[in-house]
Copies of this chain bind each other. A is one copy, B any other.
Amino acid sequence: MDQVQIFDVSLRDGLQNEPVVLPTATKLEIARRLVSAGYRDIEVTSFVRPRLVPQLADAADLVRMLPKAEGVRFWALVPNQIGLDRAIDAGIQNVCTFMSASETHNQKNVNRTVRESLAGLERVIGSASSQEMGVRAYISTVFGCPFEGDVPVSQTVPIARALLDAGADVVVLGDTTGMGTPMQVKNVVRTLVDEGIPLDRIGLHFHDTRGTALVNAFAAFQEGARMFDGSTSGVGGCPYAPGATGNGSSEDLIYMFHAMGVDTGIDLDIACDAGRMLEEALGRELPGRFHRYWLAQRERDRSDEDAPSAGSGETKFRTA
């Protein structure tokens, strides 16, 4: 039976893109629910300067209080050596790094050229991997850049190779503003594989800004990709187009893969419950499609229990 690994990023990439600061205790509750659901890889925080990302300022405290969970890897994003040191201090054993395939995006995001970023990350990744830590190296704007537009896969190949040579276990191809589309995704994955990058070292991180997250994941799966990021219930809006959706939803991915007979190791019902908790904590309706369906069903089942005649009756109409 085919298998995929789902990496849930809601507590870091999700929360980083929501204008709410959640209490550490709430994040821990959600982390525990994600663990119960069966997620083996959970991105929990980022060790950047707290002033820059208030939502993740509790990074060290959060990590220290994470549940003991056999076989579960908790991941933290680190921008540099200082962040890595703080992460190790706190007890993190698995880190994510990031840089862009696009020069302009890299410059605007981290104020460095691609070459400078690679040099810096080679040291950070080298340091982490020499301490037997897990390392996922994210490459942003692989499928398009909000500044440069199209990004040829030929820009991504040498970056991916360099990051893996530096000691990263996996390169994660990020569709930062949801510009990816399925045939392009197939071409990118196929090209990387043709260039010698093994499928078991390629992860995908899709955004749903234009509705393509799920079809892109399907297309990548057809090319042999087996590692996918998701954010519970699609937490994490798009900073470039406020009001549009951002992260692809974990539950949507899990639902699709299960329907395809592909094992994720995750209990979809419990995963959806984590989404319910996140939605309540954030105080806004989250966009994940399966999430919305699951909540609607739950609501319907409850009203059926309370009032046997509920569900019948006339729709009320408004005249516009």
Contact = CB atoms under 8 A, between A and B. Distances in A.
Interface string A4-23: 00000000000000011111
Contact of A281 (B21, B242, B283, B320): B320
A2 to B, nearest CB: 11
Given A211-B255, A215-B256, A21 B318 contact: yes
B211 A288 contact: yes
A320 B283 contact: yes
* Assembly stoichiometry (copies): 2
A273 interface: no
A23 B281 CA distance: 40
A175 interface: no
B317 A209 contact: no
A64 interface: no
A296 interface: yes
Contacts of A109: none
A244 B293 contact: yes
Interface string A276-320: 000001110000111011011101100000000000000111111
Contacts of A252: 210-211
Contacts of A292: 243-245
B256 A212 contact: yes
Contacts of A212: 214, 255-256, 259, 289
A184 interface: yes
A183 B315 CA distance: 36
Contacts of A242: 296, 299-300
Contact of A249 (B23, B26, B211): B211
B290 A256 contact: no
A299 B243 contact: yes
B215 A296 contact: no
Contacts of A183: 259-261
Given A54-B317, A317-B20, A260 B296 contact: no
A270 interface: no
Given A289-B210, A292-B245, A218 B182 contact: yes
9 contacts: A20-B318, A182-B260, A209-B293, A210-B293, A211-B289, A212-B289, A214-B215, A243-B292, A283-B318
Interface of A: 19-23, 26, 54-55, 178, 181-184, 208-212, 214-215, 218-219, 238, 241-245, 249, 252, 255-256, 259-261, 281-283, 288-290, 292-293, 295-297, 299-300, 315-320
